[in-house]
Structure 1
Amino acid sequence: MEGRRQLTLQTVDLTASFMVWVALSSLLPSIRQDIDVPASQVGLVTAVPVVLGSILRVPMGHWAGLFGARTVFLTSFAALLVPVWFLSEASTTADLLMGGMFLGIAGAVFSVGVTSLPKYFPSRRHGFVNGVYGFGNMGTALSTWLAPEAASAIGWRDAMKLYLVLLGALIIVNFALGDRREPRTRASAIRQLRIVATDTRLWALSLFYFVTFGAFVALTVYLPSFLTSHYGMSETDAGAATSTFIVLAAGVRVLGGWLGDRLDCYRLLAGAFAALALGAGVLAAAPGLPTYLAGIYLIGIACGIGNGAVFKLVPLHFAEQAGPANGIVSMMGGLGGFFPPLALSASTTTFGTEAIGLAAFGAFSLACLAMTLAMHRR
């Protein structure tokens, strides 16, 4: 009973956290009407929340094991009140970069649930449980859909302040319903890191998540601006298309975890990377909008299956070092979301097209495909 309650609560926590995490990128089209953000800085502004949100995932995973999910979620939500308010009062690109960096705390909490929740369930259900928790990724869809609507109605500054209300509600709910008796670990973080750092499986899973979750995050923050500037979509329509991508990827992640409990995860990952390479090829062809969206949604399905399979394997291989292992793998996934927007911008600036950057991503996916097949045979 407690496990189900914590699964529900922490999935809600992750959903709301991811809403806050992408608040800046979701509102950026409206913000740019008020603040002169140079085109060369757009990619950096949308990507900067990913940096701290990735790096903090390692200590967040350890703290979740040490102090329990309730304490870490409460502390994180309280800390987020400051950057959200700061962004609502921003007047320069530098302000956006500063506030956006600390907004990354919202993305870091992912490693809290994947460390905490497996304690409540048998190992045969860990893939499904982490998949359900990972469905909280749809919080990014809610922001990309609702934030532009709110900005149109009340202005982007007041729309940003609505996230303060959300954070306040989360603090109250977690204080009341968080598990005060969650089992804790007192193992040394340094000792656990030494153990996992020498295991090649950890770095392989980190690479796989770097690609699958990185592509999900990158497209989440990149699509709203790209669809409006390149295809002439309205902010609302671009937000809706991006939300569809996010909901699809988040929903399929549950399926990926469920399949990971029943099938060979490395075969699942091989199929996901093949689909990612195909999707990248479709986008590189610079098709019309319907075909482009089909390629995006194919990538979303592949990301969901891959993300679910990876987080079936992490608790399976690293049950005794769950905090550091979850933190490192999820950190690499977050960092994976930082580089693609910059690479696509650089490809456009240098070659006049995104095709080169997309081709590089496709080649990277094929390399991961080869690795998963080799690990399956071994």
Structure 2
Amino acid sequence: MIRKLQLPLQTLSLVVGFMVWVILSSLMPFINEELKIPPGQVAWVTAIPVLLGSVLRIPIGYYTNKFGARWLFSISFLLLLAPVYFISQAASVTNLIIGGFFLGIGGAVFSIGVTSLPKYYPKEKHGIVNGIYGVGNIGTAVSTFFAPVIAKEIGWHSTVQLYMILLLLFAVLNFFFGDKHEQKVTTSVTEQIKGVYRNEKLWFLSLFYFITFGSFVAFTVYLPSFLVSHFGLEKVDAGMRTAGFIALATFLRPVGGWLGDRYNPLKVLMVVFGGLTLFGLVLSFSPTIELYTAGCLGIAICAGTGNGTIFKLVPLYFTKQAGIVNGIVSAMGGLGGFFPPLLLSILFSITGHYAIGFMALSEVALASLVLVFWMYYQENLQVAKTIVDNTGEAILITDARGIIQDVNPSFSKVTGYRKEEVLGKNPSILRSGRQDSAFYQRMWGEIKNQGFWQGEITNRRKNGEEYQQWLTISAIKDEAGELKYYAGMFTELRPVHAEMTP
């Protein structure tokens, strides 16, 4: 029973964590009204919680594997009580920055669920499970929508204090209903990092999540103030529109996970980054409120879908180091939400508009699209190589000149030649001398006319022993019809004994 509770319990815990994480950005129009914060400092105040929320995800992912989600959620929520109360008493920008920095713990709890929950489900369901957990992002929409409404009635100081009740409640719920027997991973953090840091897939996934989750967080943080200052909307109206953006992106997260389970996740990411490239371009032209809304909704669709799909790929590529990899990837996503609002603010102060910032989103998304295509074709090549390496038949590949380019393990097993000994040489090193030149002329004539030849032939191993094999040689051409390679596939039939003389 406790195991079945983990998905809903951890998802609701993420909702609470994210509600707390965005307190400042949700209430900034009200806070700004009282404290009169300069525009340049508003960006810093709203972005600061994202910083610690990003960096902490790495150790939290690791310690979740070591101690379990029950302890990590409970401790995190108790630690958040102090900064939340401190912010409710804030009377200066400095107070907001200090308290906001520690609010980052609310965003860091994301690493707990993506590390813990896959332990309870088979791999083919990891995408949808992490996607459902990711719906906890809706916490940012809950705060963005309800906090301004409540603040309008009781003031922003009292509104902030209400969050302390939720934190205490969920600290208790996790302590009593969290899984005490969650599977633990005791591998040291140093060993886990050593096992992954040289793997380019880790850094590609980090970049992808930097774009998808980063754009989600950046728009969440920046939209309430931007819609008020740039389009002159009412504070509650801006909050509702931002909540709509968050809700759309959040509910598409499990859709992205489901698509990653059902189809090739890399193909899904191709569509995601193609969309982000297009919609970033639309926003860069500083459109009207109608076009701006359409562009933001497009960003929400792509970002939400991408967020779910990426965490389908993490457990596929990193089974033993999922905790630390989840931490690193999710940390990069958080940092993707930290820098864009600051960059937009700086660019606006220099140029008077946000076009360059949105164009940068479009171009980085385009670069990510190129990388996804590269990963997709590399993966296909790796699959083909795995098949070749594990097939029972011996395989030899030469270029058009007949120089050996590659062989598989079965080739070495049959012939006795190691791969390093034959690369760059001619297959004639295998000849036994039992076939005359007329035989080879007929064989190559068939290959030239028909594209392949197959038949029985006698060859010689490295140790001098002769053997019979069934050989198929195929000519491989490119799309233009130009000969590129010859592929030989053979199976040993029987050794040739000394009495078998020509």
Q: Could you state the TM-score of these two structures normalised by the residue count of structure 1?
A: 0.99
CA offsets per residue over residues 259-280 of structure 1, 9 Å max, x none?
1001111111111011111111
Amino acid aligned to 1:373: F
What corresponds to 1:155 in structure 2?
A: 155
Q: Offset of 1:96 from its aligned partner?
A: 0.5
Is residue 215–residue 303 contact of structure 2 (8 Å, CA) maintained in 1? yes
CA shift for structure 1 position 3:
3.9
- State the partner residue of 1:251: 251
Q: Name stretches of at least 5 consecutive residues in structure 2 with no aligned partner.
A: 379-502
Counterpart code for 1:56: L
Which residue of the partner structure matches residue 279 of structure 1? 279
Aligned-partner residue type, residue 315 of structure 2? P
1:10 aligns with 2:14: no
Question: Letter of the aligned partner of 1:51 in structure 2?
Answer: L
- CA drift of 1:21 comes to 0.2
Q: Distance in 2 between matches of 1:19 and 1:4?
A: 24
Aligned residues: 378
Alpha-carbon separation, structure 1, partners of 2:2 and 2:164: 29
Mapped partners of 2:7, 2:316: distance in 1:
19
Residue 128 in structure 1 maps to residue 124 in structure 2: no
Secondary structure, counterpart of 2:295 in structure 1: helix
Conservation of the 8 A alpha-carbon contact between 1:206 and 1:328: yes
Instruction: Give the match for residue 185 of structure 2.
Output: 185
Take 2:2 and 2:305, find their aligned partners in 1: how far apart are those partners? Answer: 28
Q: How far apart, in 1, do the equivalents of 2:369 and 2:4 lie?
A: 35
Alignment of 1:45 onto 2:52: no
Deviation per CA, 1:212-266: give whole Å up to 9, x if none: 0000000000000000111111111111100111110011110000010011111
1:161-203 CA deviation, whole Å, 9 max, x = no partner? Answer: 0001110111121122111111111111100011011111000
Quick check: 1:76–1:105 contact (8 Å CA) kept in 2? yes
In 2, Cα distance between the equivalents of 1:321 and 1:357?
A: 35
1:37-89 deviation line (CA, Å, top 9, x unaligned):
11110111110000000000000001100000000000000000000000000
Q: Over alpha carbons, which structure has the higher Rg?
A: 2
Match of 1:290 in 2: 290
8 Å Cα contact 2:3/2:179 also seen in 1: no
Deviation at residue 100 of structure 1 after TM alignment: 0.3
2:317 match: 317
Tell me which residue corresponds to 2:199: 199
Q: Alpha-carbon deviations, 1:67-126, whole Å to 9, x = none?
A: 000000000000000000000000000000000000000000100000000000000000
Q: For residues 92 and 142 of structure 1, what CA distance do their matches in structure 2 show? A: 26
* Secondary structure of residue in 1 paired with 2:233: coil
1:173 and 2:170 aligned? no
Moved over 4 A (4+): none
Moved more, 351-360 or 54-63: 351-360
How big is the shift at 1:4?
3.1
Say which SS state the counterpart of residue 258 (structure 2) adopts.
helix
**Matching of residue 230 in structure 1 with residue 230 in structure 2:** yes
Separation of aligned partners in 1, 2:14 and 2:314: 19
Q: Mark the CA change 1:337 to 1:276 in structure 2 (over 3 Å): closer, same or farther.
A: same
Mapping for residues 64-143 of structure 1, pairs under 5 Å: 64-143=64-143
Structure with the higher fraction of residues in strand conformation: 2
Name the structure with the higher helix share. Answer: 1
Cα shift at 1:22? 0.2
Q: Distance in 1 between matches of 2:185 and 2:355?
A: 47
What amino acid is the match of 2:18? Answer: F
Task: State whether residues 144 and 239 of structure 1, in contact with CA within 8 Å, keep that contact through their aligned partners in structure 2.
Answer: yes
In structure 1, the residue matched to 2:210 is 210
Q: In the aligned structure 1, how far is the partner of 2:348 from the partner of 2:31? A: 23
Contact 1:36 1:93 (8 Å CA) reproduced: no
Distance 2:170 2:3 in 1: 19
CA distance in 2, matches of 1:13, 1:234: 31
Deviation at 1:36, TM superposition (A): 2.3
Q: CA deviation at 1:5?
A: 1.1
Deviation of residue 319 (structure 1)? 1.2
SS at match of 1:186: coil
Distance 1:274 1:360 in 2: 14
The farther-off stretch of 343-352 and 68-77 is: 343-352
Correspondence 1:281-360 to 2 at 5 A: 281-360=281-360
Q: What secondary structure sits across from 1:320 in the alignment? A: coil
Offset from partner CA, 1:275-308 (integer Å, 9 cap, x none): 1111111111111112111100100000011111
Contact kept? 1:280, 1:358, Cα under 8 Å = yes
Distance in 2 (CA, whole Å) between partners of 1:247 and 1:3 is 28
How does the TM-score come out when normalised to structure 2?
Answer: 0.75
User: Per-residue deviation at 1:2?
Assistant: 4.1
Over the residues paired in the alignment, what is the CA RMSD in angstroms? Answer: 0.8
